[in-house]
Structure 1
Amino acid sequence: MATQASDKSSGITIIGSEFVCPQSSDLTIVGDTVKDTNGNKVFKVKTPLFGLHNKRILVDPNDSPLLTMKMKVTSKHDRWQVYRGSDLDDKIFTVKRSSTVQLKTRVEVFLKQNQTKESSCDFTIKGRFMKRACTIYVGASTKIIAQVYEGDERLVATIYPNVDYAFIVTLIFVFDLINMGGTGI
C-alpha cells in the first residue's frame, strides 16, 4: 500500500494502488454507503457504537477496516486526522478548515510528510455547504481531481482518471463531517 502521494503519469495514490483506475469513475453515496455505477457496495462508513461519536471507520465490502477518521476535539479549524486501518498508529493525512470563518467552505489536506510544517497544502477541497457540492484540487492549484454534487437524495462523485478513489471518498466524508459539525452525511 502507498503511504505517499505520487502525482506523475501514474496518478495519485494515497491509500493504495488497488483503488486507482485508469479511467474516470462515478460513485454514489447514500447515507453511509458508497456504490459503483452497477450498484455494488464499494465502501461503508461505520460509527463505533461505544466511545465518542467523533470517529468514523471506512470499511471495504467485506467489512474490513481501511481507514479511521478521527476528529481532533480541541481544534478550532475542525481538524480531522485519518489513519490506516482501525488503530491510531499510522496517520496518513490531516484535513482541516483553512480558516475559522468562511462563507464558502475551503478545506486543506496535508499528507503525512507535510503535517509538521503545514506551510502549503497537498490538496484543497472547495464547496458550498447548502448545495453539498465540492471540487477537490491538487494543492492550491486549479488542477481538479474529483467533483461532487447532490442529486436525488444522494451524492454523486466523479473521480478523475488515475486518482485513488478510496482517498477521494474519505475526503468527501470528512468534508461533509466538517460542514455538518461532526454529524456527517
Structure 2
Amino acid sequence: MAEQDLNNRSNTIPIIGSEFVRPQPSDLTIIGDTVKDANGNKVFKVKTPLFGLHNKRILLDPNDSPIVTMKMKVTSKHDRWQVYRGGDLDDKIFTVKRSSSVQLKTRIEVFLKHNQTKEASCDFTIKGRFMKRACTIYVGDSTKKVIAQVHEGDERLVATVYPNVDCAFIVTLIFIFDLINMAGTGV
C-alpha cells in the first residue's frame, strides 16, 4: 500500500456523495453482490434487474434505495459503462471505459460528467491484471495518487478505500472493473 497517500488527507473526493466519504481508511469486503464494512455490516448491494434489453446494475444502500445505476453501452468497442445518479437515467455522473480494445493488462479510464465530451485526459484510472480481480485505482492518468486498492481473498474481494474518498464511487468502479474483465474472458 502506498503510505504517502494514506497520510494525505487534504483532498476529499466525493463523486457520488459526501455521505459516502470517510476521514479514515475503509476496508470493505465484497462477497457476490453484497458489500460489508470491517464490522460485517452491509453497506451496499448490487442488484441486477431481471428484465430489460441493456446490461445494467443498480448500487443500493442498506435500505435498498438506489444510489447509482450502471448501464453498459451496447455498441461500444471499449466496454463503455455509463453511471447515473439513483435510478434516473437522465443524471449522468461519469463514464467508464477500457482504454483500448486490445489489452494484456486491464486499464480502465474514468471520465467525470464535465470531461465526457473531450475525453482527452481521464479523471481516474483503474489498473489491474487480465483474468484477475485485483486492481488499483488512481487519480488522473498517472500512478502517483492511489485512492483505493483491491485484492482477491477466499471467494471474496477486499477493498481498501483511502481517507476522504467516496466509498460508493469506489464500489461502483470495482463492480464495473469486474464486469469488464468477465466480458474479456468470454464469461
TM-score bracket relative to the smaller structure: over 0.9
Residue equivalent to 2:58: 57
- After superposing on structure 2, the runs of 4+ consecutive aligned residues of structure 1 that deviate more than 3 Å are none
8 Å contact 2:56–2:70 — kept in the other structure? yes
Residue 96 of structure 2 corresponds to: 95
Indicate conservation of the 8 Å contact 2:54/2:71, yes or no.
no
CA contact (8 A) 1:146 1:158 kept: yes
Shift of 1:128: 1.0
Q: Which whole-Å deviations, capped at 9, do the CAs of 1:10-69 have from their partners, x for residues lacking one? A: 411101111111111100000000000111100000011111350100000000000000
The alignment status of 1:30 with 2:31, answered yes or no, reads: yes
Q: CA RMSD in A?
A: 1.8
Q: Tell me the distance in 2 between the aligned counterparts of 1:55 and 1:81.
A: 9
Q: How many residues align?
A: 178
Which residue is equivalent to 1:3?
Answer: none
Distance 2:13 2:170 in 1: 10
Deviation at 1:129, TM superposition (A): 2.6
Structure 2 unaligned runs (5+)?
1-8
User: TM-score, length-normalised on structure 1?
Assistant: 0.92
Amino acid in the other structure paired with 2:155: E
Q: 1:177 is paired with a residue of what secondary structure? A: helix
Provide the TM-score with structure 2 as the length reference.
Answer: 0.91
- Return closer, same or farther for 1:182/1:169 CA change in 2, 3 Å cut-off: farther
Stretches of structure 1 that go unaligned for 5 or more consecutive residues are 1-7
Aligned match of 2:161 in 159, 162, 174?
Answer: 159
* Contact 2:54 2:72 (C-alpha < 8 Å) held by counterparts: no
Q: Could you tell me how far apart the structure 2 residues matched to 1:150 and 1:116 are?
A: 34
Q: Residue 77 of structure 1 contacts residue 96 of structure 1 at CA under 8 Å; is this kept in 2? A: yes
